Amino acid sequence: MAYDVIVLGGGPGGYSAAEKAGAAGLKTVCIEGRAYGGTCLNEGCIPTKALLYSGKMYVHAKEDVYGVHAENVTIDHNAVIDRKNKVVKTLVSGVEATLKSKKVEMVKEYGKVVGKGAEGYLVEAGGKTYEGKNLIIATGSVCAIIPIPGLKEGLASGYVLTNRELLDMRELPKKLVVLGGGVIGLEMATYLAMVGVDITIIEMLDHIAGNTDKDLVKDLQKSCEKMGMHFILKAKVTEVKADRVVYEKDGKTMEAEADKVLLSIGRRANTKDVGLENIGVEMNRGAVVTDEHMKTNVPNVYAIGDVNAKIMLAHVAYREADVAVNNILGIKDVMRYNAVPSVIYTLPELSSVGETEESAKAKGIDVRVIKLPMSYSGRFLVENEGVRGTMKLVFNKKYDTLIGAQFLCNYSSEFVAICAGYIEMELTAKDIQQIIMPHPTVAEIIREAVNQY
């Protein structure tokens, strides 16, 4: 008998879709070729945060600013990796246990779509064929590679690492050159700089950290530089040699020496060898095209998470999973991307949701911006000796509604979602003023800012 749902891929999108489908009583199979939990749990969000937490503990222990004196503070990188592995193992078993409890069949094999049968779509995995009335493609993304001399050879020899290898690297390099000053590059660089690695980040744009608030990004770069990182902006990498990276800047060819190189110039949708062409799924530049219901052009075939390349974030995949399964169940649900929080877990963290001042203006929205130093928060001052932080709230001046928020502030990842809620509910400055926040918290600076509206 055919499955109601075949989920291809067991990352945040895939496993949460399978859990939801299983919980709703649908006969579901989740096919995963590597490890349940996907990139996020095994070689992305979670392991990076484990390393960063150890790094932060180390940095704070050495600080000597809160009246605490510790001598001979050291960090054991191998112990850090072991602990990271322990956390990952616990969470992966948790995902597997939940899938089991929702009666989802788990198949630990690579699956490939091979065509259509009498009852549904056919997926081959581990020599068996599975037939599903609905198919959810959640095959994620892979590290993008630039076609420059020496890069493939560097990856093959282990001189060039992606996030996958770097997270299991047992021996720390003295000098690391990072290609790409985006999320992965900055987070990995933050941990490695904290444990004493000499970091140089080569970025082709004139700024790091992607498309978030330009002022906050400048401040973030200063903080990173204070930690010892070097930035080479507006530079084009042209070659990777055995012990160095060659790049062009201002028309000149230059070199940066490195013991290891991290490749983090973006990710691309993983649609290679998935067999989507066998059922005619429409693609755009290698990513699956979906509508607001997460439907592809092929009936009963959905695509969620990085594979549709809309916004490559685990939490977006979770929500897309809800939307896909709800649509399978006949429950009306639509995906919106206007209030997606995103965080770069640097020191301090850079959190953002909705429009930035620049993006709103580019859309022709008349904005009112409230910008405050984080020192307006008593709790921030108490816990951030010598750290500068800034926040920005962006309002649509016509309606007084909040449309964006950015924070350069430690643990802002924990409260940026408050603003996501306000944006999603289309609350005005006046509405937000009436919401009570606990005191003392760092988040209450949002109230402080809104009171100045």
| Residue in 60, 230, 293, 439 annotated catalytic | 439
CB atoms near residue 66 (< 10 Å): 10
Name the residue number minimizing CB distance to ligand NAI: 182
Contacts with ligand NAI, 121-150, as mask; x by CB under 6 A: -------------------------x----
Residue 210 as a binder of ligand NAI (CB under 6 A): the answer is: yes
Q: How far is the CB of 30 from ligand NAI (least distance, A)?
A: 22
Peptide bond into 47 cis (omega under 30): no
DSSP-H helix ranges across 144-293: 151-157, 163-166, 183-194, 214-226
Q: What pairs with residue 354 in β-bridges?
A: 404
Q: Which is nearer to ligand NAI, 92 or 317 (CB)?
A: 317
Q: With respect to ligand NAI, which residue has the nearer C-beta, 38 or 120?
A: 38
Write out the binding residues for ligand NAI, residues 39-98 only, by CB under 6 A: 44-45
The DSSP 8-state label assigned to residue 354 in this structure reads: E
Q: Which CB atom, from 266 or from 378, has the smaller least distance to ligand NAI?
A: 266
Of 217, 269, 313, 347, the one binding ligand NAI by CB under 6 A: 313
Where helices occur in 44-123 by DSSP H, the ranges are: 45-63, 77-101
Name which of 288, 292, 403, 291 is nearest 354 in CA terms.
403
Residues 42, 34: Cα–Cα separation, whole Å: 10
> E strand or H helix at 65, and its extent?
none
Q: Which string of b and e fits 115-129 if b means at least 16 CB within 10 Å?
A: eeeeebbbbbbeeee
Residue 239 in 3-state DSSP? strand
Q: Rule CB under 6 A: which of 145-204 touch ligand NAI? A: 146, 179-185, 187, 202-204
Specify whether 207 is catalytic. no
Q: CB 428 → ligand NAI: shortest distance, Å?
A: 29
Options 122, 237, 294, 408; binder of ligand NAI; rule CB under 6 A: 237
In this structure, are residues 395 and 402 in contact, taking their beta carbons and an 8 Å threshold? yes
Q: C-beta of 223: minimal distance to ligand NAI in Å?
A: 16
CA nearest 105: which of 6, 33, 13? Answer: 6
Please, what is the minimum distance in Å from the beta carbon of residue 247 to ligand NAI?
Answer: 8
# binding residues, ligand NAI (CB under 6 A)? 27
Provide the b/e sequence for 327-348 (b: ≥16 CB within 10 Å). bbbeeeeebeeebbbbbbbbbb
Binding residue for ligand NAI, selected from 3, 345, 395, 422, defined by CB under 6 A? 345
Nearest to ligand NAI of 265, 442 (CB atom): 265
Closer of 40 and 137 to ligand NAI (Cβ): 40
Q: Among residues 23, 101, 55, which one has the least CA distance to residue 196?
A: 55
**Which span (92-100, 216-224, 337-345, 425-433) binds ligand NAI, by CB under 6 A?**
337-345
Q: How far is the CB of 285 from ligand NAI (least distance, A)?
A: 15
Active site residues: 439
What does the binding site for ligand NAI look like in residue numbers (CB under 6 A)?
44-45, 146, 179-185, 187, 202-205, 210, 237, 264-267, 312-313, 342-345
